[in-house]
Structure 1
């Protein structure tokens, strides 16, 4: 029945049950996202690891305590006396105990409570990415199985004890290899990278002149070119190129070159290892959702985000903290002896700023604020003429200012558990984009709304305004004139609802015979027009948006909610961010509507 040396056996803490008035037995052979006992490592099985396709191609026996001579039921390619069913918890098995001595024996043990666990045997897929190994902050190894190739049996068993004999030799070999790599890495870090950033390590890579001096008698001109390119290429590419070049080299000269290349490749592996310190939001969410300890990189980034929020005078309420990372500073992972390289994957503020229609129209976006921020307001009363040696005057008017204070903006994003089980850059970026969209939509709708200012949210710029009814191009020109009369210094722009922009498209300018469309190429007679559904239908605002200030404090504070949407197979991410907005000069804006 079992010929594969790579079959692995695991027990679960799920007790099989039997009803008192029937012979039906059921239990969970696999419990997803449940951490195993100590196998020399700790293991969890991802919900995406077992699919209906796997069940349909597997020949699964139900055995008594994994004894291959004690068969209770069988599911061959999805049919038979053994029923297998996948649900949110795991893999459920159901069968009717056979009317045999073995079946009666099993029922008696179950009803007495002597058998209290289930177990299963499986083979992990050999495809790349089928399992992920990580090192916890406790120094222990953690294995997540993402793809199982085949199931072999499910079994009611006496106890859930795990033993190293139930782990395939292939898995133990991988673990030993992983430990050897980590030992080598630690040794390299001690020798070459202690207290150095990734950038400093890269600077220590031998220059062309240094290597040429060391290998004058062994390096030819072609090998020098490889030397210049080594740092930019993966370890695999370097090794492949070396093999190609070795085919053209013979004797002692070949051996000398191989030794030189080996040293150079060894240095490259160390640098590449440093570069692999990357933060994954997807992995962070999974760890929290599955109640697992954060890995070193995630913990370091979250600590940085927490410090950033505290520096801004904010209290943290979530489980994951993403810093803005606008300074592009590296985040140190102390226990790794390496740095997390700051990449655009961290950056939430920049794509948010780029997407926000208010910022596109010219609003001032202030980031990295701490506590309350005062923005000065310049008016004509602050400026006076004076003699060459006369003292300056203040115009008998106090210098005005607008104060921004952090207000918590809360939005949520629902993510499918099946999507969360994936592990790709595309999914990672999709989740980040969903977060950006949720925050931006809430921010725009509030600032472009009618609500008044409260302790918890800024006032909408339409608050207290009665939009002027406009029917033609002359009416629009009149509103623009009022903005210009307020002595605005910046450019004028429109922000309109989609229906208001549609009205712009049908508007004509000029007299009969020379009339032309007023709206062309995204502008209204040369004035930029931006559109968003966050403006009330048929309504628009025109003005100098540099007189609108938007402030941002800290990064993102994320709560992973496993319960609200659990019935729908979803996980809800509740995002907390801190913003405020205010008009610096309200007279720089005019409001209009096409409503009849």
Structure 2
């Protein structure tokens, strides 16, 4: 067998750039702050391949920590798509160890892995690093070469399931022997991250097992009663029983009810389509916004060819008006058309060309108008959308929680369940405008159809966003900023919130017990620029805007419908956006007639409501 070639200095640097992974230990956990201190590296020998050893030098001059300290990523099993936390700070300690404090996000995966860390299930740490410079320091008797990395850079930290070295674990330092818990050293010890001594032994209070059992029984009764009550009120008894069997919470069942309503509105059943107008699938695909606008143009009032081409659209509009009980001044686009995608291939225009010029042959499949609207509306992306509504709608809302009682011996537990109310929603008509050229309407290709739908969706979406944030409630929906009971945090500087002020928004909601893992910050573009260039803390490089488009561990969205002085934070799933009936289109041919443009006025019935005011916080300059 031929002898293997030993690696050279340059090959070690090249291979190290691909990242070695080294296992060390989780050291402490702070559940309240969601932070974990980890030891991620040491100067222990790392065995490479054939007769080669690498030692990472742990001096301040040898380790580049800029990438970690600038919001470095914390992953699960080194998967770049499993981003679960962010590095708050990284350092090299005097004992020659690399340590970091990381803060977990609140997404589903991040929450799952954080609980595993807290419970001691996920306890091993690995680091990915690059070696920029090495030197050969020793060749041993067995011909093993020992290299020292004198310039290296950690670029990510991972929580991993399979360690390379099982001798390290939670709470153990690097390179030291594991702590042995004896009776003498367990008399009083501090749990990681709490700072609160936990006493054991003689004199410690004894647990009242009977009281614990009674509390557990009462909590279970409350859970079951609450879920079953919701199931009866919202005609979902079988689903309620399933949630009880699966030990899920009333909050889980409330979210399920909303998603069920949302799912039905997004994808109407055939019966629901027939109740709207009764168009066949083929007619839905034939329906053309362009034909509608051509008919609305007064210049085509007596154009027989145009009206014949729009026979389907005119008939469907008349049927929609009758079914919806509306006396339309324009043409109503039926609900089933708004919910159906353009299922044909077409060419789309150059986005930079104004009013549909310079069309090119690029195949594309368009979404439904409702889906286009959702993509153009930030609040519809984060909130709960109910489309295709008919009449007034009542949404379940828990007004108060169930009550617990202190129960004496041989005393029955009082029956208790949550107090539930309803958020009432009713349609309000909003208007939005877009423009199109007469020359563009003369085209018959599907790219023009898609362009018009996109423009109308954008116009309506911007209006929905604006009302969702700032609606006054006077002949229009009430926006978040004007809802009574919404939390508020003052900003010292307009459009330039500090990290502490943004965290205070989270604290306000948490104080109302309304915080959940899926909350988000919504800001405007200028505030995003400020957050990208402003450190969280003085004399540090980590900025407010974190890796992965997050702030304070939460997703951050951007829209210029938010005023420069404001920022919004909260559980936007508690914001319900309802859409009724069809979209009504009218045409203004006069305002820009000299320029050959037609103004399209789109009118849509909507309402916006918050299930719980405490779920939101508004930050603004006083």
TM range (shorter): 0.3 to 0.5
Tell which structure's C-alpha radius of gyration is larger: 1
TM-score with structure 1 length normalisation? 0.46
The TM-score with structure 2 as length reference comes to 0.44
